[in-house]
């Protein structure tokens, strides 16, 4: 009634709705109910989490964050309040898979992963791939290395070319940072960069076992495809990069300050990759101490 008083008198509105004016005045003077106050507080928390997620979280991740903060609120209630208040995660619907395959494979290919994208320990299985990023009506190339244990991006490299030196730069930096033990599995598709002699030599030097999925099979590197889908539909597709350096800075910031550090992952029981690793090493320290 209040929203229409500029167009109609209260008597006209009350008559149309079949209510009395006194009832309307009693209603607007009434104090908010306990449930109404609780919902208002919940909505405030939901909006804060939603904004901190860069408007990428839907109800499952917002519910997980509320639980982590100690707020008692069911997932169904979170979904209902979000719908009622028009809070919806941004998502660029179109995602194009851009991986190129090589028809010339100089090294024998073996699949050591077999679509089992799980690792019980860190730095035992890394998956890698390259994707395209649009910059000023052209393309640049992003190489990513992901640890299957925590779904953490171990390292990235971005360049205006997709020669084998691109993936070697990412792998070399990842080896320096993580120092994995001999026997690490490096899984990729059959792109020419990942079947190159240069990668084969680096793998031999560091005791890395190379693994390749089948040609043209998205499911054989599904963990990487999932990451690229997240990166592009939640972030990169909303950007309008002008230079390579601008793209490199922005994507680096997204990956290492948000995706690794904060974004809750459904396969990690809605923990972030960094939190998953922290909990693992914390439990390892407790086990060693108790023994």
Please, are residues 123 and 184 in contact by the beta-carbon 8 Å criterion? Answer: yes
Phi-psi region of 136 (alpha: psi -120 to 50; beta: other; left: phi over 0): left
Residues contacting 271, CB < 8 A, separation 6+: 264, 265, 279
**How would you class 30 by CB atoms within 10 Å of its CB: exposed for 0-12, middle for 13-18, buried for 19 or more?**
exposed
Whole-model pTM? 0.79
What is the block-wise mean pLDDT of the chain (291 residues), using blocks of 10 residues? 59 68 64 77 91 90 90 88 90 58 55 95 97 94 98 98 96 97 96 93 96 80 94 94 97 98 95 97 73 48
Cα distance between residue 65 and residue 193, in whole Å: 39
Cα distance between residue 207 and residue 221, in whole Å: 22
Please, are residues 217 and 111 in contact by the beta-carbon 8 Å criterion? Answer: no
pLDDT reported for residue 102:
47
Cα distance between residue 17 and residue 25, in whole Å: 15
Specify the residue for token string 């008083």: 5
Task: From 196, 205, 228, 216, select the one nearest 127 (Cα to Cα).
Answer: 228
Cα distance between residue 247 and residue 256, in whole Å: 14
């Amino acid at each position: 009634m209040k929203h229409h008083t500029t167009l109609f008198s209260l008597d006209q509105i009350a008559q149309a709705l079949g209510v009395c004016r006194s009832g309307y005045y009693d209603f607007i003077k009434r104090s908010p109910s306990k449930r109404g106050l609780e919902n208002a507080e919940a909505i405030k928390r939901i909006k804060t989490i939603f904004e901190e997620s860069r408007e990428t979280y839907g109800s499952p991740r917002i519910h997980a964050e509320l639980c982590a903060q100690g707020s008692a609120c069911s997932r169904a209630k979170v979904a209902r309040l979000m719908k009622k208040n028009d809070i919806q995660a941004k998502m660029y619907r179109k995602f194009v898979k851009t991986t190129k395959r090589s028809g010339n494979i100089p090294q024998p290919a073996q699949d050591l992963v077999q679509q089992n994208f799980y690792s019980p320990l860190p730095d035992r299985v890394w998956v890698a791939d390259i994707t395209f990023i649009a910059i000023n009506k052209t393309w640049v190339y992003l190489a990513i290395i992901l640890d299957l244990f925590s779904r953490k991006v171990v390292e990235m490299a971005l360049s205006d070319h997709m020669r084998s030196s691109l993936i070697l730069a990412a792998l070399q930096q990842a080896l320096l940072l993580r120092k994995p033990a001999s026997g690490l599995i490096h899984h990729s598709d059959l792109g020419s960069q990942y079947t190159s002699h240069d990668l084969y030599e680096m793998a031999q030097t560091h005791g890395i076992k190379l693994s390749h999925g089948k040609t043209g099979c998205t499911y054989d590197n599904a963990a990487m495809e999932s990451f690229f889908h997240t990166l592009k539909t939640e972030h990169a597709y909303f950007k309008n990069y002008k230079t390579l350096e601008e793209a490199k800075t922005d994507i680096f910031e997204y990956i290492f300050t948000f995706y690794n550090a904060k974004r809750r992952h459904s396969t990690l029981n809605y923990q972030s990759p960094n939190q998953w690793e922290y909990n693992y090493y914390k439990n390892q320290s407790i086990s060693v101490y108790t023994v």
